[in-house]
Amino acid sequence: MDITDDKLVKIALVTSLIGLIGLIMFTPSIEVKEVKIKDIDRGMIDEEVSINCVVSDIKSSKSGSSYFLTISDGTGQMPLVIFESQVAQMQTNNLDIKDFKDKKVNVVGKITEYNNEMEIVLSEGDSLKILN
């Protein structure tokens, strides 16, 4: 059996379509892992996680464009960093960061390390939600 250019193109096309269909089917099932603060370690750097916690403190950067929140979930506490782009998204949705103080929230963000301390960086402006 000879493989011609036409057959090769058809095989590539069919393989690509199968791959795209697989991506479309399995993408909704990819979920962010929910963790406790005490379980976060250096092996989780660059991993996106979800934490149910309480915002115990809110501080802004010197420029006022970024915020540093202290979150705790009963197992520990850690800083949550909200950069200027996420702050702008929150303001577009009429959310004020100060409204989150002492509220139970769900945070979705990426684990990072800064000055030998683990922290979480908010993924998107809508990744910080108040829980009932």
The rounded distance, in Å, linking the Cα atoms of 34 and 36 is 7
Q: What is the pLDDT of residue 28?
A: 65
CB 122 within 8 A of CB 110: no
Q: What is the pLDDT of residue 125?
A: 84
Reply yes or no on whether the pLDDT at 26 is more than 80: no
Helix (H, G, I), strand (E, B) or coil at 87: helix
Reported as a single tens digit per residue, the pLDDT across 35-77 is 999 999 999 999 999 999 999 999 998 888 899 999 999 999 9
Reported as a single tens digit per residue, the pLDDT across 82-106 is 999 898 888 888 888 888 999 999 9
Reply yes or no on whether the pLDDT at 1 is more than 80: no
Q: What is the pTM of this model?
A: 0.74
Among 70, 118, 127, smallest CA distance to 95 is for: 127
